[in-house]
């Protein structure tokens, strides 16, 4: 079975002390993960070492960065490199989140550079893709997300791309009052896998976890994750509530 992953994205939330308390609450629930399951916490950079040290004794619990820069090193004040993440034993990094694309104008080409640097430094990218409302309303979401994959990932050989995690975000369903159904989630996840299969073959495509990032909550996670091509979730708000994120972890296939 593909990896089934509950990934928390804390974004720019919580103080250090609140983060410690949240992790302690989640871990105290004692949810044991199977070999194919993972819980990943994408936390603000100042909390990476604390998070890693808190979860590293737990089987299949990991810390992740929320971003890295697209240069190896240099005069880039305030930025964090993939090499730095590797040096403190951080194994995952979220790349191309819709907020990074929108607020920081991150292009597909820039994200390709970030992907390369992460892989060179043994950091697994959690690569985000997804369409805004205007694209969904125009009915061109398939072409839009396919382009995101092709321009940022398809330079990679098969042995590299199958190590990635992909997260699909229906940006149009986040904070708009519109809701993505389980059927819509499965439909586009299946399409994304078909795009990967066209480029790399079905065997490779079937190894790549595709997470859903559209307002996953404790009360809808089990239904979403039951879809054959939905391999867990990239969770925002609900990951900040211990009881909710525990239930989301428990909902993994």
Asked whether 117 and 156 are in contact (CB, 8 A), the reply is no
Active-site option among 99, 169, 189, 247 = 169
DSSP letter, residue 6: E
Asked whether 19 and 47 are in contact (CB, 8 A), the reply is yes
Active-site option among 97, 99, 106, 247 = 97
The 3-class SS string of 206-232 reads CCCCEEECCCCCCCCHHHHHCCCCCCE
Asked whether 109 and 140 are in contact (CB, 8 A), the reply is no
- List the structure tokens of 49: 């070492």
State yes or no: is 21 an active-site residue: no
Q: CA-CA distances (angstroms) from residue 55 to 27, 89, 91, 99? A: 8, 12, 13, 27
State yes or no: is 155 an active-site residue: no
Asked whether 233 and 7 are in contact (CB, 8 A), the reply is yes
Q: Say how far apart CA 85 and CA 83 lie, in whole Å.
A: 5
N-term to C-term CA, the chain: 9
Q: Say how far apart CA 187 and CA 34 lie, in whole Å.
A: 27
Nearby residues of 208 by Cβ (< 8 Å), 6 or more positions away: 2, 161, 162, 164, 165, 166, 193, 196
Q: Say how far apart CA 73 and CA 80 lie, in whole Å.
A: 9
Helix axes 141-153, 108-120, angle to 10 degrees: 40
Catalytic residues: 97, 169
């Amino acid at each position: 079975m593909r990896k089934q992953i509950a990934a928390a994205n804390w974004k720019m939330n919580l103080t250090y002390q609140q983060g410690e308390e949240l992790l302690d609450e989640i871990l105290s629930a004692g949810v044991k993960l199977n070999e194919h399951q993972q819980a990943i916490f994408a936390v603000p950079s100042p909390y990476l070492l604390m998070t890693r040290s808190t979860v590293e004794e737990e089987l299949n619990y990991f810390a992740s960065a929320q971003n890295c820069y697209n240069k190896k090193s240099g005069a880039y004040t305030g930025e964090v490199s993939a090499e730095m993440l590797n040096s403190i034993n951080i194994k995952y990094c979220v790349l191309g989140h819709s907020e990074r694309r929108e607020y920081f104008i991150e292009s597909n080409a820039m994200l390709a550079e970030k992907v390369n640097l992460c892989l060179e430094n043994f950091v697994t990218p959690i690569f985000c893709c997804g369409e805004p409302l205007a694209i969904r309303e125009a009915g061109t979401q398939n072409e839009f997300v396919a382009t995101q994959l092709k321009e940022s990932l398809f330079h990679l050989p098969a042995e590299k791309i199958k190590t990635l995690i992909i997260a699909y975000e229906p940006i149009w369903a986040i904070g708009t009052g519109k809701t993505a159904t389980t059927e819509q989630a499965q439909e586009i996840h299946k399409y994304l896998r078909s795009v990967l299969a066209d480029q790399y073959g079905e065997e490779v495509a079937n190894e790549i976890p595709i997470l859903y990032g559209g307002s996953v909550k404790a009360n809808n996670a089990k239904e979403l994750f039951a879809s054959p091509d939905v391999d867990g979730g990239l969770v925002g708000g609900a990951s900040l509530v211990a009881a909710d994120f525990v239930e989301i972890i428990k909902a993994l296939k």
